[in-house]
Amino acid sequence: MSRERWRTVARFIGALTVLAGLVQMLAAPFVLRLIGGGDDPAAVQFAATVGMFMILFGGMLLQATREGADAPSLLRWCAAQKLGASLAVMLGVAHGVLGGFAVLVALQDFASCFLVLGYLGSLGRGPGPEYARGG
């Protein structure tokens, strides 16, 4: 896949993460019902807080795709967040805290981790005009 396509995929993941985080932050009870989570005040607050962090990491991924080869450490952190999120959600499913739909969320985050790493790998393939700062 070309670097530009990798970049587009990474930007899509970043934007989707921001959007999902915004929904989760503003409509935590709705999201918790979707994934089979609890609806007590502590669960709602925790889900909203996680949503805020999703916004931050999604925004960081979007910024990293603008900076290209200057942002490998940011991309590694974004990939680590996606991997950690997938493992945390699967633990929630395994412990019976989250329902079956949450497995799809975990799989999406797991795949996103490796797609972000794919974009990171594409940056090491020499310079490209699409990765000029601010591009």
pLDDT for the residue numbered 70:
85
Q: What is the pTM of this model?
A: 0.86
Q: Round to whole Å and give the CA distance between 48 and 129.
A: 39
In a domain, 116, yes or no: yes
Show the tokens assigned to 130: 């699409």
Q: Supply the mean pLDDT for the chain.
A: 92
Show the tokens assigned to 102: 């949450």
pLDDT band at residue 131 under the 50/70/90 scheme: very low
In a domain, 87, yes or no: yes
| Helix H or strand E segment including 37 | none
CB 30 within 8 A of CB 75: no
pLDDT of residue 123 exceeding 80 = yes
pLDDT for the residue numbered 134:
46
Number of domains in the chain: 1
**Domain range holding 15?**
3-123
In a domain, 109, yes or no: yes
Q: How many residues does the chain have?
A: 135
pLDDT tens by residue, 26-82? 999 999 999 999 999 999 999 999 999 999 999 999 999 998 788 899 999 999 999
